[in-house]
Structure 1
Amino acid sequence: MAAHRSLQGYLSSAEQPEALVAAHIELVHRIAHHLAARLPASVQIDDLIQSGMIGLIEASRQFQSGQGAVFATYAGIRIRGAMIDELRRADWAPRSVHRNSRRVAAAIATIEGREGRAARDSEIAAVLEVSLSDYHAMLQDSAGTHLLGIDDFFGEEGDPDRRLPIGLNTPGDEVESDQFRTALADAIADLPEKERLVLALYYNEELNLREIGAVLEVTESRVSQIRSQAILRLRARLHDWFNGGGQTPAYRIE
């Protein structure tokens, strides 16, 4: 993954608050290693660090101490955001993988809209007209496109409060952002128990796939499949939000 913008260009383009940058280089490395531990081995730590340094330099330029924020907190948001933005730009997955992910989400939406309950693996495979093993292989391939998981439900800039799939320019937009968060929370609460547990262990407890597999007594690849299916199920249930409708799902799993 090549960094989208030249770090050298940022360093030479204008005079930087060098003291802030120098004092927080370790923060960039710490965030990069923490993020890399949750990403495929193909993601290079040096690329994350370079993107993070750009975020740190931008933070040092824009930080205003009079606003009451601590620089390390502000910089951490910008550093992680720069890394995440670069990961999105460096999407490596073939179009066929993205196409299959959309097919899976559509199949889930069809089944759950019809049955009013969580779609089972065998039902999804049947709608897709593939074997169960082929469906699980599709989930495994799709897992690589969900580098960020829950973060993928938000837009740019790295700060979850600023990265909703809608703008925040008017009071009406703020209401919609709250509605989206409520819809996302409801959709997560309605996930099958094992999918909900995997997401909780991965995002809340920050366990890696191997550690979650040990907890659930399943293989690491199976955990990856469960996580991938959970993300696709959430996308299916929040379809209207991702297509500009700004509405809650037409059905709710009971």
Structure 2
Amino acid sequence: MYTAKGRLDNSALIRQYSGLVRRLAHQMIAKLPANVELDDLIQVGLIGLTDALSRFDVAQGVQFETFATQRIRGAMLDELRGGDWMSRGTRRQQRSIETAVHKLEQRLGRAPHESEIAAEMGLSLGDYQDMLSKVRGTQLVYLEDMSGDEGSDDYLDRHVVDESNNPMAQLQDHRMREALVAAIKNLPEREQYVMSMYYEHDMNLKEIAAVLKVTESRVCQLHSQAIARLRVKLRDW
């Protein structure tokens, strides 16, 4: 696309390839923590697209879409690598909850109650619920899960890739989904309701609280606890 003066019409090209940015953002966010915002990825991706337009040289013999895809994904990955979605202190609290849940599940052979988890951690029920509110568990996977406490690019490089042509990756993803569905079915009933309303029906905390007749803070606690239970179940994935 060219302007009347014979120059590339960047505005028209950005409009034309904005769908590519959105598609790449959706592919990437599917394997990222739930609190990473899609709109943020799209905005960064558009910056990457603009950069691609300024750097593209047809003489290189590469199609623009291929070149742009690399630039867009690169911009998104740079943004993700520079982000810190949850403080280390909060992550330690999340892991301490998971450790207690895991020990109790092994000992009891069932999903432990809140009071049991609190006792295992040496906390009062109120203090444990306060911790759940602070943790606000929104992530099934953290970067450090794959690389240690300091984190690295390894998780992103291994997981945030285009695996559409990788049969083994597709099989693993299918198995992961099956394992997640099974793990959710084994959650305590109220936590199942929270996960279903939040993720399947796109209800916000206020709406879920109204249905369950509890406070929004309580919904947040139930959500955090459900995430901790699921992360214990899905550690091997």
Q: TM-score, normalised by structure 2?
A: 0.63
Q: Identify the residue that residue 119 of structure 2 maps to in structure 1.
A: 126
| Amino acid across the alignment from 1:142 | V
Q: CA RMSD in A?
A: 4.3
Q: Distance in 2 between matches of 1:151 and 1:103?
A: 15
Could you tell me which of 205, 211, 214 is aligned with 2:210?
Answer: 214
Q: How does 1:19-98 map to 2 (within 5 A)?
A: 19-22=12-15, 50-54=43-47, 62=65, 82=76, 86=79, 89-98=82-91
Distance apart, 1:181 and its partner CA: 1.9
Q: Structure 2: which 5+ runs fail to align? A: 1-7, 54-63, 144-154
Could you tell me which of 170, 173, 180 is aligned with 1:184?
Answer: 180
Q: Distance in 2 between matches of 1:238 and 1:208?
A: 25
Distance apart, 1:184 and its partner CA: 1.2
Q: Identify the residue that residue 58 of structure 2 maps to in structure 1.
A: none
| Amino acid across the alignment from 2:109 | G
Deviations 1:51-83 (A, max 9, x none): 25336659995379xxxxxxxxx9xxx89x94x
Q: Distance in 2 between matches of 1:207 and 1:59?
A: 38
| Amino acid across the alignment from 1:197 | Y
Residues 39 and 184 of structure 1, relative CA distance in 2, 3 Å threshold? closer
Q: Is the 8 A contact 1:16 1:57 kept in 2?
A: no
SS where residue 103 of structure 1 aligns?
A: helix
Distance apart, 1:137 and its partner CA: 1.1
Q: Is the 8 A contact 2:194 2:208 kept in 1?
A: yes
Q: Identify the residue that residue 198 of structure 2 maps to in structure 1.
A: 202
Q: Structure 1: which 5+ runs fail to align? A: 1-14, 65-73, 242-254
Q: Is the 8 A contact 1:85 1:156 kept in 2?
A: no
Q: TM-score, normalised by structure 1?
A: 0.59
Residues 178 and 50 of structure 1, relative CA distance in 2, 3 Å threshold? closer
Residue 99 (1) aligns with residue 92 (2): yes
Q: Distance in 2 between matches of 1:125 and 1:230?
A: 15
Distance apart, 1:174 and its partner CA: 3.9
Q: Distance in 1 between matches of 2:65 and 2:128?
A: 47
Residue 232 (1) aligns with residue 228 (2): yes
Q: Identify the residue that residue 4 of structure 2 maps to in structure 1.
A: none
Q: Is the 8 A contact 2:132 2:224 kept in 1?
A: yes
Q: Is the 8 A contact 2:140 2:231 kept in 1?
A: no
SS where residue 196 of structure 1 aligns?
A: helix
